[in-house]
Amino acid sequence: MNLFLSQEQEEIRELVHDLCLERVEPRAAEIDESAEFPWDIKELFAKNDILAIPFTPEYGGVSGSALTLIVAVEEISKFCATSSLILSVQSLGSLPIWLAGSEEQKRKYLPPLARGEQLASYALTEPGSGSDAGGMRTRAIKHGDTYVLNGSKTFITGGSVADTIVVFARTDQDGDTPARNISAFIVEKTMPGFKVGKLEKKLGIRGSPTAQLFFQDVALPAANRIGDEGEGFKIAMRVLDHSRPGIAAQALGIAEGAFDLARRYALERHQFGKPIAEFQGIQFILADMATQIEAARALTYAAGDALDRKLPDIGVSSPLNG
Ligand SMILES: Cc1cc2nc3c(=O)[nH]c(=O)nc-3n(C[C@H](O)[C@H](O)[C@H](O)COP(=O)(O)OP(=O)(O)OC[C@H]3O[C@@H](n4cnc5c(N)ncnc54)[C@H](O)[C@@H]3O)c2cc1C
């Protein structure tokens, strides 16, 4: 029993663990080998309400707690990193709507995501703007009640399989104004002018598509803008504050999975008449791994707990973050 977790969170962990042991672990190697998005695992998660974890019950979800989401992502990652991203990106792509959307947007977009009928993604990065997200060039120009979106995004996790994509674009007219003139928009994959480009060939997490996205004269109703015009950069950063602990949870779960394999192998493998786990040199390595995992877990859970308790110092110390 972990001191950080409630009885309910422990139960969710157990449920996710058992499901992944039975259904995800046997698929993990072939998902990575084939580099294809595992629709069967997405269905499994939808059917078992795992995709509902990031959402509160009023929007069709089962939790909405950052720490519960972390525990679920950690548990899935022990077995398959691709599969854990299905859940964490469902959260990442819906967070802009959840944190800054109107009630109408929440009621329209969140329930189908919570039910796992639709998938979400988050499109901030561009070929010329990574760490410097404020330097983006994708632009949405307002004509009456419609914005016309032009530009491209790159490295978008789940971008090729998502139904609802939150896209960040400049809404200034002259192009010289800094990050404050970025706005966030909900793009639906069926909108004319939206196109998926190439998928990255990655070394790992290969079943998770990392896509290039193109927008050519995509007509967006003003009702699809999240928050006020110019609030997009702040929204993007708030979303990253909320979603980065999920990436830590993924790394933590992968480390735990690797540790478990290493420990089992050390017990199985015999040299000089005994399991190699009995040699002190191997014990040092395993002890160091276990210590680092325990420390990483404490830090990751503390971040989730801080998010759930809405501690004020969780945010990025950027003046734009408010
Ligand atoms: C697998 C994968 C999935 C992704 N999924 C998404 C997604 O779903 N949505 C999305 O919007 N983006 C996504 N990204 C993009 C990711 O957020 C960017 O890769 C990240 O912001 C870094 O940008 P960059 O790759 O352009 O690197 P750069 O910004 O070009 O950085 C290159 C190097 O320079 C360093 N550097 C940059 N600025 C500074 C500085 N000021 N001081 C010191 N060092 C600096 C960086 O640390 C890095 O080592 C994904 C990326 C990957 C690899």
Sketch the domain layout of the chain as residue ranges: 7-114, 120-233, 234-321
Among the residue ranges 1-5, 37-41, 272-276, 284-288, the one predicted with the least confidence is 1-5
Q: Which of 88, 129, 155, 242 to mutate to test the pocket of ligand 1 (most atoms within 8 A of CB)?
A: 155
CATH superfamily name and code, 7-114? Acyl-CoA dehydrogenase/oxidase, N-terminal domain (1.10.540.10)
Residue 311: pLDDT band (50, 70, 90) is: confident
- Ligand 1: residues within 6 Å at CB? 121-125, 130-131, 155-157, 210
Q: What is the CATH number of domain 234-321?
A: 1.20.140.10
Among the residue ranges 25-39, 169-183, 221-235, 251-265, the one predicted with the least confidence is 169-183
Q: Which CATH number fits domain 120-233: 2.40.50.1040, 2.40.110.10, 2.60.40.1510, 3.90.1150.10?
A: 2.40.110.10
Residues in the chain: 322
Collapsing DSSP to helix, strand or coil, 217 comes out as strand
If you measure from the C-alpha of residue 129 to the centroid of ligand 1, how many angstroms do you get, rounded to a whole number? 8
Return the structure tokens found at 298. 């404490």
- Closest by alpha carbon to 28, among 83, 108, 88, 89? 83
In this structure, which residue's CA is closest to atom 19 in ligand 1? 130
**Dist CA 9 CA 247 (whole Å):** 19
Chain segment 4-47, per-residue pLDDT in tens? 799 999 999 999 999 999 999 999 999 999 999 999 999 999 99
Collapsing DSSP to helix, strand or coil, 242 comes out as helix
Q: Which of 32, 84, 125 to mutate to test the pocket of ligand 1 (most atoms within 8 A of CB)?
A: 125
If you measure from the C-alpha of residue 131 to the centroid of ligand 1, how many angstroms do you get, rounded to a whole number? 5
Phi, psi of 268 (to 5 degrees): -85, -40
- Closest by alpha carbon to 9, among 56, 66, 93? 66
